[in-house]
Structure 1
Amino acid sequence: MPQTYYVSISSRTIESNPSRAEQLTVEATEEELQILRRKLDRVEQDLDKTSGRAMVPYKSAERDAAEGAYGDDLIDLYAYVYRIGTPQTRSHIDSMSILPKLTGQNTDLPGYQ
Structure 2
Amino acid sequence: MSSINTLYVSVSTKSLDREASTNEQLEVRGTEEELETLRQMLEQLQRDDEVTQFRAPIPYKSADHDKATDQFNDDMLKLYQFIYILGTDKTKAHIHDMNILNKLQNTDYEHPGYER
TM-score (normalised: structure 1): 0.85
The one-letter code of the counterpart of 2:34 is E
TM-score (normalised: structure 2): 0.83
Which residue, 58, 66, 72 being the options, matches 1:56? 58
Tell me the C-alpha RMSD between the 2 structures: 0.9
The 1-side partners of 2:40 and 2:53 are apart by 20
Segments of structure 2 that go 5 or more residues without pairing to the other structure are 103-116
The 2-side partners of 1:25 and 1:53 are apart by 33
Residue in 2 that maps onto 1:89: 91
Residue in 2 that maps onto 1:39: 41
Segments of structure 1 that go 5 or more residues without pairing to the other structure are 101-113
The 1-side partners of 2:51 and 2:7 are apart by 28
List structure 1 runs of 4+ shifted beyond 4 angstroms: none
The one-letter code of the counterpart of 2:30 is A
User: How many residues of Structure 1 are paired with residues of Structure 2 in the alignment?
Assistant: 100
- Matched-pair identity in %: 42
